[in-house]
Structure 1
């Protein structure tokens, strides 16, 4: 088992005419589940209590260290000298579309790095739903009008 005949990364090969040991992907190939993942990234799911609970849980783990528990941008990381992220309660972010938050979580923005490899698309949408709930919590008049 310790001595196996195999090709290592970028090792040349006499088997193929081009001399490479690795084969290029066929045209149009995509990784398993990528199509479903791409489809889930296009539209947010319906708002439910379970979605908000999941969003709160994920927000607490991934977002609150910088953004703070209430979304004001005053998390523990900021208290240790890192730059302040914007408050979710600013006019700009209250009027931003949900897709904006999803894209920022996915691709990062400013000094925030991408969470695409850490947070699944469904959980990103749950976080976006929770951010919207945080924003509504600061505008009780607007929240009561939407409930009617």
Structure 2
């Protein structure tokens, strides 16, 4: 008789120990709420010194590595430029993209003397951190693609000031 009651009794004891409410609705701190647990009285604690987000060191090292410029890189840069940059900057870098045609403020032209003289790092920095009304593309564009876009912007700048007489290959193809 005791054996027959042992299993249901154990099951009843185990199930009575479970409290569904406390398991599904645990105490937690809301964002920026007061927390007596911490010395400064807030739940938002600064990160410990030396903490690095997972993958940040590798990603940061890729931001410092300028790739070798070749046709493949320029092709990738054009593809990424057309996707991310041309809506505002236009396909030729004249600041006449579709978004600008609909009333958004025009970005600076890539063909001004100031931006022609700017170092490549300037364009990489602007893509990464944004500037003026342009938001950051750091989360949207991989560092290697940012460098590809910078190379393509340089190619756009060169193309606007190119002279057909300076390029023998073009002279033979043009009538």
- Normalising by structure 2, what TM-score? 0.69
Shift of 1:35: 1.0
Measure the CA separation in 2 of the matches of 1:92 and 1:57. 25
Shift of 1:114: 1.2
Measure the CA separation in 1 of the matches of 2:46 and 2:104. 43
Structure 1: give runs of 5+ residues left out of the alignment.
none
Q: 2:135 aligns with which of 104, 107, 113?
A: 113
Aligned to 2:148: 126
Shift of 1:32: 1.4
1:93 matches 2:110:
no
Aligned to 2:24: 3
Secondary structure of the residue aligned to 1:130 is: helix
Q: Which has the higher contact order (CA 8 A, sep 6+)?
A: 1
Q: 1:70 aligns with which of 75, 79, 92?
A: 92
Measure the CA separation in 2 of the matches of 1:97 and 1:107. 16
Shift of 1:7: 3.5
Whose Rg is larger? 2
Measure the CA separation in 1 of the matches of 2:51 and 2:125. 24
CA contact (8 A) 1:65 1:77 kept: yes
Structure 2: give runs of 5+ residues left out of the alignment.
1-19, 169-175
The superposition leaves residues 99-132 of structure 1 with CA deviations (integer Å, 9 ceiling, x where unpaired) of: 0000111111111111112111111111101101
Measure the CA separation in 2 of the matches of 1:8 and 1:76. 45
Of 16-25 and 44-53, more deviation after overlay is shown by 16-25
Normalized per residue, which structure has more helix? Answer: 2
Secondary structure of the residue aligned to 1:41 is: helix
- Normalising by structure 1, what TM-score? 0.80
